[in-house]
Structures are given as structure tokens and as C-alpha cells.
Amino acid sequence: MKKILLSFGLLAFVAAGMQAQETKTAPAPVVVENPNAPIMTFETEVIDYGTIEQGADGVREFKFTNTGKEPLIISNSRGSCGCTVPTWPKEPIKPGESSMIKVKYDTKRLGAINKSVTITSNASEATKVIRIKGQIVAPKTSPVKDVPAGAPVEQE
């Protein structure tokens, strides 16, 4: 008798647990587009460094204008790696005003450049990706004069 009561109790416990796990799916969130949202319009979204020498100035500027109807606030900007460091304006950019995002690339590295910067803001396009590209080559050195051994050395 105890086994029968224990079995029914266990069955009732499992059935209650299964009922408690029944979930209803929540409706999808409604995304409301703001017709007055700021719009970040860049003069160019890709800057080509071209071919530059190792150790050259790696700072470039991306100019943009807020073409929306509300102030633009950039909350974050990050490079695709530690060698690409962006600096962005911390104050709101009013409608019609322009500003710049400076990107510094570490030109100590040789080879091709193909990096991105991801910008997060309150603009109609919440995340925007801009890119830098180019080629870094070793600096040119002047040819070395061959001086025969034992030749006098010129002194200044």
C-alpha cells in the first residue's frame, strides 16, 4: 500500500512540475523608428593611406555631419584591433554641425592595412563601420659606400 501511495505522490509531483514549466512566448518587441533621429553622414567611409613608410604619421580624420533633426551622441567607438585607436567627440553634435573621428594606426607594423572602426551612437543607424586601408613598407635607406680596409677616415 505504501508503494502505491508513494508512486501516486511521485506521479503527481512530476505532473505538477511539468505544468509549471509551460511557458508562453512573448510577443516580438515593436521597434519604432524615430523620423527625427540624428543621421551620421560621412564624407568618406574608407580612408586609403596608400603606400607609406614604416614609422610614418598614422593619424587620419573621418569628417561627418549630423544631417538629422536631433543632436547626435556618439557613445562608443572601437578599432578592430589594438593597433587602431579612434578618438571621437564626447559632446553632442547638433543638427547641421560637422565633427571628426580621428583614427591612429600603429605604423610600426609592416604589410597591408585593412582595419575597421565601429561607431555606436543614437543615430538612425545605431552602429556604423568605417575602414582604413593601405600598405606599410620598410623605410628606404641610403646606399652604403664601400670603403677599402685601411683607408683614412674623414673627420668633421
What pLDDT does residue 135 have?
Answer: 96
Per-residue pLDDT at 8 exceeds 70: no
144 class by beta-carbon count within 10 Å (0-12 exposed, 13-18 middle, 19+ buried): exposed
What pLDDT does residue 140 have?
Answer: 80
Q: What is the rounded distance in angstroms from the CA atom of residue 56 to the CA atom of residue 131?
A: 19
Q: Give all domains of the chain, ordered by start, each with its CATH number.
A: 40-137 (2.60.40.10)
Per-residue pLDDT at 151 exceeds 60: no
Per-residue pLDDT at 109 exceeds 80: yes
What pLDDT does residue 146 have?
Answer: 59
pTM, full prediction: 0.69
Per-residue pLDDT at 20 exceeds 60: no
What pLDDT does residue 36 have?
Answer: 87
Q: Please give the average per-residue pLDDT across 71-83, as a whole number.
A: 95
Q: Which residue has the higher pLDDT, 97 or 22?
A: 97
What pLDDT does residue 141 have?
Answer: 75
Mean residue pLDDT across the chain: 84
What pLDDT does residue 139 have?
Answer: 87
Q: Which residue has the higher pLDDT, 25 or 96?
A: 96
DSSP 61-75: EEEEEE-SSS-B-EE
Per-residue pLDDT at 147 exceeds 90: no
Q: What is the rounded distance in angstroms from the CA atom of residue 119 to the CA atom of residue 6?
A: 62
Percent over 90 (pLDDT), the chain: 65
